[in-house]
């Protein structure tokens, strides 16, 4: 079953070593919004630059599942402007939960978003969730956006507030097969 989780909240700190955040006009106290597609019936994966695929194995503490970031902040638009490097790119499509923690990670080693916090069983009454968005710019200098997030929506349909088009699950999951 596919579920869309949307998180929103203020940026609490910035580390802009690449200069991309300043270029995007991102500041402390700006709000960020991230939407993840989560499919608990699929395994969480990591895809190496050479195309090899690693599946995360459940253990006694964690249950892994597929998670794909489908909407994020203004940094995403800057990725195409960032210079290409010879550094291998790893792509992440994984979430996990345990009895004490919920964690989503999606994107690549060039640009990713990680959201974590208390077990999903404690939402929406649990503490605020933590968000980290990282992007690598020139000379592998990394910029990091740290935020305090709240879960604002859980839905079985995705509608981008900036685009009236509703995406089908086939369109979203398909990038895994490239």
Task: Give me the chain's average pLDDT, please.
Answer: 81
Three-state DSSP class for residue 173: helix
**Model confidence, pTM:** 0.81
Q: Output DSSP code: residue 169.
A: H
User: Given this model, what pLDDT does residue 48 score?
Assistant: 93
- Residue-level pLDDT at 81: 52
Calculated CA dihedral for residues 8, 117, 123, 40, nearest 10 degrees: 90
- Residue carrying structure tokens 């638009």: 77
CA separation for the pair 169, 121 (Å, rounded): 25
Mean pLDDT, consecutive 10-residue stretches, the chain (178 aa), reads 90 92 89 93 93 92 94 67 64 91 90 87 69 84 92 80 39 35
pLDDT value of residue 164: 35
pLDDT, residue 56, reads 94
Find how far residue 171's CA is from the centre of its chain. 17
Domain boundaries, the chain: 2-177
């Amino acid at each position: 079953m596919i579920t869309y989780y949307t998180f929103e909240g203020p940026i609490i700190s910035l580390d802009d070593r690449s200069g991309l955040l300043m270029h995007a006009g991102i500041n402390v106290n700006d709000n960020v919004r991230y939407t993840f597609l989560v499919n608990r019936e699929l395994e969480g994966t990591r895809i190496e630059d050479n195309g090899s695929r690693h599946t995360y194995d459940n253990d006694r503490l964690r249950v892994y599942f597929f998670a794909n970031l489908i909407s994020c902040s203004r940094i995403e638009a800057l990725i195409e402007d960032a210079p290409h490097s010879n550094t291998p790119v790893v792509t992440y499509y994984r979430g996990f939960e345990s009895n004490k923690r919920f964690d989503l990670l999606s994107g690549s080693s060039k640009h990713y978003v990680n959201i974590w916090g208390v077990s999903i069983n404690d939402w929406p009454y649990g503490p605020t969730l933590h968000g980290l968005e990282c992007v690598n710019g020139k000379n592998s200098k990394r910029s990091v956006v740290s935020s305090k997030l709240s879960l604002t929506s859980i839905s079985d349909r995705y509608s981008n507030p900036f685009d009236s088009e509703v995406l089908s699950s086939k369109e979203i999951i398909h990038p895994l097969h490239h």
